[in-house]
Structure 1
Amino acid sequence: MSSRPWALRMSWHDLCFMHWPVPPEVLAPTLPRGVELDTYDGQAWLGVVPFTMTGVAPRGVPDVPGVSTFPELNLRTYVTAGGTGGVWFYSLDAANPLAVRLARALFHLPYFDARMWTSREGGVTRYASLRTHAGAPAARFAGAYRPVGEPITAPAGSLEDWLTNRLYLYSASPAGRVYRGRIHHQPWPLRRAEAVIRENTLAQSLGMIFSGEPHLLHAESLDVRADWIEQVR
């Protein structure tokens, strides 16, 4: 934990890590100055992560009905800045207009308004998202997923550990300044997963189309604390 008080609390539920390998030379030009692409055995990865947030609130503020719970869907890759590895978000779609605007203003994260639907029955999660943010690139996602098998522990140095054990996020301001934020949580409660993806256009704004079967992992629930961001100098 950092010596500074954490800023936000939240819980993540029914999360599916969906990752596709991408040539590094394709992703590297999409990153801002000061942020470098991270690779695993020379391979870059692009991830789509659907989940549901609950208990989202600033430190010392109680949950707000209708505000503190909402689905979120992000498109991400993995980077380093100043020698520290973390997550770079290309987009974060959310069905919460207030959260979208606060995250954009306070954390410089590319959140977008979306209409989203999610349900879980018999262990299967059905998830759909349609971006509605004014002036933003169109993006749609529809699919279903479920965990399979027993819980797993991702060994240090494994691909599963590399994809999920990321305790920093990066963002950039409109002026091009790069920021880093720390998150805190226990190890991921991971299981393998199965998924059927009907539609996924999240990467079209990057000039990419997802193809092939993704690498899949599922996490049931995780409590998280997030620090305020700081500029990377």
Structure 2
Amino acid sequence: MVNYVMDPAVLRPLVPRGVELDLWQGEALVSMVGFLFLDTRVLGVPIPFHRDFEEVNLRFYVRRETPEGWRRGVIFVREIVPRWAIASLARGLYNEPYLACPMRHHLTAGTCEYGWHFAGRWNSLSAEFRGEPVLLGEGSAEEFIFEHYWGYTRLRDGSTAEYQVEHPRWRAWTAENPRLEGDMTALYGAEFAQALGRAPVSAFLAEGSAISVRKGAGVRGGGGGTSNIERPTVSTSSRS
């Protein structure tokens, strides 16, 4: 997870109704995230040849106030996966901005790299790490980045959908020498490419865990209503 400061004015038009930007020490952050999904199941059923796969996404952070308190979540700008069927299923279930591209990854004892082929070239996200992972510190930048357990997306009719992501607290390494290489303008547009071209403010590598993504529900009203969150739609384990 490689994290950059972003102009809030660029992000606000992407924020759906009922939620607001969640800032870290007064700044809006975007994250380039590489995941390796393992043993993925949809409604408890494994799909042959679609259980283990990479994903690279660009996301930013929001929150929604409910009677139970703040729900901290993420909005995805774009999510890249290697198979058309995965992208189509995710768009259908969650109306998320998925894109299918050829992908690859490389993991050694001290380096992690994800690659995707888009606009006629290979792009990559990589970093180095050493030592042992540690639990996220209370109030730390790592905790802010990782501890967002809700997803939000704008539906085609202009309303907002909310879904819950469940996983235990992760252990993480502070990554070294993070690198993002490729044509970010073609993928995300000039304003995002400008932010992603600057030096990142932080980078982390998490060891991952079992994850459940529950079926979404609508956000009622301006942000105070609660949602009915049902049983897991997608379950998987991950390495990020």
Q: 1:206 to 1:101 in 2, by over 3 A?
A: farther
Q: Secondary structure at the match of 1:87?
A: strand
Q: Give the counterpart of 2:28 among 35, 41, 44.
A: 44
Displacement, 1:99? 1.2
Work out whether residues 24 and 39 of structure 1, in 8 Å CA contact, stay in contact via their aligned partners in 2.
Answer: no
How many angstroms does 1:30 deviate by?
3.1
- Once residues 9 and 125 of structure 2 are traced to their aligned partners in structure 1, the CA distance between those partners, rounded to angstroms, is 29
Q: Say if 1:107 and 1:85 are closer, same or farther in 2 by CA, change over 3 A.
A: same
Picking from 153, 159, 162, the partner of 1:180 is: 162
Aligned to 1:150: 132
1:164/1:139 CA distance change after superposition, 3 Å: farther
Q: Does residue 133 of structure 2 align to residue 126 of structure 1?
A: no
Matches within 5 A, 1:1-233: 17-61=1-45, 63-82=46-65, 83-131=70-118, 141-194=123-176, 195-199=178-182, 201=184, 204-205=188-189, 207-208=191-192, 209=194, 210=196, 211-233=198-220
**Cα drift, residue 140 of structure 1:** 6.5
Q: What are the superposed Cα offsets for residues 164-191 of structure 1, whole Å, 9 maximum, x if unpaired?
A: 1111111121111111111111111211
What CA distance in whole angstroms lies between the structure 2 residues aligned with 1:122 and 1:200?
A: 28
CA distance in 2, matches of 1:207, 1:106: 29
Structure 1 residue 212: Cα displacement? 1.2
**Aligned equivalents of 1:92 and 1:50: distance in 2?**
10
8 Å CA contact 2:2–2:200 kept in 1: the answer is no
Cα RMSD (Å) of the superposition? 2.2
Percent identical pairs in the alignment equals: 25
Contact 2:74 2:150 (C-alpha < 8 Å) held by counterparts: yes
Q: Is the 8 A contact 2:153 2:161 kept in 1?
A: yes
TM-score normalized by structure 2? Answer: 0.79
Secondary structure class of the residue paired with 1:145: strand
Aligned CA distance change for structure 1 residues 220 and 200 (closer, same or farther; 3 Å): farther
Equivalence for 1:3:
none
Confirm or deny: 8 A CA contact 2:78 2:99 kept in the other structure.
Answer: yes
Work out the number of aligned pairs and report it.
211
